[in-house]
Amino acid sequence: MKQLESKTVLITGGSRGIGAAIAQRLAREGAQVALTYKASPEKAAEVVKAIEEQNGKATAIQADNADPQAIVNAVETTVKELGRLDILVNNAGIGVYKDINAFTVEDFDAIVAVNIRAVFMAVKAALPYLKRGSRIITIGSCQADRMPGPGGALYAMSKSALTGFTKGIARDLGPKGITANLVHPGPVDTDMNPANGPAADFQRSLMALDAFGTGDEIASLVAYLAGPESSYITGAGFLIDGGTNI
């Protein structure tokens, strides 16, 4: 039996990049998958199709993380269409890099809404459905802990806030048998951070290994945290960054 057989997962931002890789990996582990997207219905449909071609079950839901009600609706749609919810993966995120003098209050509000408030809303909306053994997994960033250059103050702030939030909910939900953990990727080759982008060589210069990570490598850690073998892990953060932060 596959390790996530009979489980249902909701992944925010599953149309591209790390979220798409997580969706496909968890489907291969046997989970039914709901994935959200903001503006890429075609990309989301491609991920659903790829899962269905492997005899999995998946559905795509449009939900902008900036809209708190959209997150609630996405949770409700997941349960309506797939019957249950066992694993929540908070993956959708945005990165805005500017000098602190250039950041506006709109930048601040946008990053807080998408990277922090949406995680809070998704957890609250999911809780009524999460039974004993359920998992909450959130994608942070190695920059939550170390900022190696200028421009990332708001991004780092948003990702480090997830550490406090995850530790807090781990305490709240432990007695219910629900775990909450964080995955902190380093540079991963996606549209957000292409391995041939302008900041790529700088990022490579920080790594112990010599290459960007892949979505599949992040998905493999998420699959472990989603599965039964991680049952005694909660409130923890896992760095998966090619040695960037050492």
- Residues that are catalytic: 155
CA atoms within 13 A on the CB side of 119: 28
* Paired tokens of 206: 């920080």
CB closer to ligand NDP, 3 vs 62: 62
* Contact range with ligand NDP by CB under 6 A, out of 30-38, 169-177, 219-227, 231-239: 30-38
Q: How far is the CB of 6 from ligand NDP (least distance, A)?
A: 26
List 141, 163, 179, 234, residue binding ligand NDP (CB under 6 A)? 141
Residues that contact ligand NDP, how many (by CB under 6 A): 33
Restricted to residues 35-94, the positions that interact with ligand NDP (CB under 6 A) are: 36-40, 43, 63-66, 91-94
Restricted to residues 148-167, the positions that interact with ligand NDP (CB under 6 A) are: none
Q: Does 122 bind ligand NDP (CB under 6 A)?
A: no
CB closer to ligand NDP, 4 vs 35: 35
Q: How far is the CB of 89 from ligand NDP (least distance, A)?
A: 10
CB closer to ligand NDP, 141 vs 228: 141
Restricted to residues 165-204, the positions that interact with ligand NDP (CB under 6 A) are: 185, 187-188, 190-193
Footprint of ligand NDP (CB under 6 A): 12-19, 36-40, 43, 63-66, 91-95, 114, 139, 141, 185, 187-188, 190-193
